[in-house]
Amino acid sequence: MAREVGGEMLSRLDWVTLKPRVIVEAGCKTGWVSARLAERYPDAVIAAVDLSAPMLKWSQQQKVPAVCLQAEVNALPFQTASVDLVCANLVLPWVADYQAALKEWRRVLKPNGLLMLTAFGLDTLCEWRDMFFEEHLPNLWDMHDLGDGLAQQGFEEPVLDVSHYTMTYREKEKFIHELRATGMLVGAPDLRGLQAVHLSEGDVLSVTYEVAYAHAFAPALRATGTSSAGVVSIPLSALRRQLNR
């Protein structure tokens, strides 16, 4: 599922003219997206960031062509305005403070830098939601709220859309295992209702995932005003950020 969504997210890079030199994948998991980014941008430096040491170790074992860094996605170890592209595939559902994450991604992006992200929408697990309490599920997003969050953190030209995916299982045990292993069920939910579901021969279990896709740009470096003599004023802090790149 993560690969399907990540591949679709990366295909949207065809819509933009971008030649990134520095790329960050926030929440890289197995590093699959980072590997695809390396194929697309062979001259770029790619940083694969995740808080999970086992995930980073797996990425290294798979020889993902990226620098693997252990860090929180809302506390990236990069200078302000130093990154051209940030990708975050299915990370926000497990981020406690999504505004802090968006603010941090906005901080590290250069002027005109691009953020691409995906998140689960409100229809996710809709067939099974009555069996779980809200605290047992990851954060689910309304597309419009996600767009508002991007705007609040100063991103420009946000583009958002939604796709629905259906996964089917012939084995109930595999369905339950994958819900737990992927973090779609957290804590200690009561699974007796799900375990009591009877499957006849040929029956399948279906689960819906609503996925919101979003991309937006960090604002360009702008002048604050022009004097009567035609002199353009640019904030010193903005020039420092440009020099620090």
Amino acid at 49: V
Prediction pTM value: 0.86
CA nearest neighbour of 27 among 77, 84, 88, 104: 88
pLDDT at 239 over 70: no
Distances (CA, A) of 22 to 29, 46, 60, 86, 165: 19, 6, 19, 9, 32
Reported confidence tier of residue 186, pLDDT bands at 50, 70, 90? confident
Token pair of 82 as six digits: 């130093």
Domain-by-domain residue ranges, the chain?
Answer: 2-120+140-163+211-220
pLDDT at 238 over 70: no
Find out whether 161 and 210 touch, Cβ atoms under 8 Å. Answer: no
Between 3.40.50.10680, 3.40.50.300, 3.40.50.150, 3.90.1820.10, what CATH number should domain 2-120+140-163+211-220 receive? 3.40.50.150
Q: What H or E segment, with its residue span, contains residue 7?
A: helix 2-11
How are beta strands 232-233 and 205-217 bridged, if at all? unpaired
State the Cα–Cα distance between residues 26 and 47, nearest whole angstrom. Answer: 8
Comparing 240 with 107, which gets the higher pLDDT?
A: 107
pLDDT, tens digit (0-9, with 9 covering 90-100), for 61-117? 989 999 999 999 999 999 999 999 999 999 999 999 999 999 999 999 999 999 999
